[in-house]
Structure 1
């Protein structure tokens, strides 16, 4: 026996489509975080890496 919502939507059909629809938004974000880790993004940054290293070194030794 098929189950329907009050609006007449076939619940099992929606579940089947959702199962085959790919990653959710949060799954996609987690995948990108795991697989990229920020690698290769230096060209988008204007941070002076050497200046940051010097600043950190000074903070540790003052």
Structure 2
């Protein structure tokens, strides 16, 4: 009976079973890329950054002012 409610691809793959397997398999591609960018740095990873750029600029400016005096 349960088999009648399931959906299959043309090749016969059980779609719900594949979705469940994907859910259990770990990070998605985008999640993995974001994790790598946040933990290792790298080129063109700024879109994943949670750094407050203005706060860093202000901190750098204050640091430079201290050095000058």
- Normalised to the residue count of structure 2, the TM-score between the two structures is 0.47
Alignment pair present for 1:37 and 2:41: yes
Q: Residues 7-55 of structure 1, C-alpha deviation per residue, up to 9 Å, x if partnerless?
A: 11100000000001111232112112112336xxxxxxxxxxxxxxxxx
Residue among 18, 25, 29 paired with 1:21:
25
Residue among 4, 8, 26 paired with 2:8:
4
Structure 2 stretches of 5 or more lacking a match? 43-69
Q: What secondary structure does 1:22 align onto?
A: coil
Higher helix share: 2
- Normalised to the residue count of structure 1, the TM-score between the two structures is 0.52
Runs (4 or more) in structure 1 with deviation over 2 Å come to 35-38
The CA RMSD over aligned residues, in Å, is 1.4
Structure 1 stretches of 5 or more lacking a match? 39-62
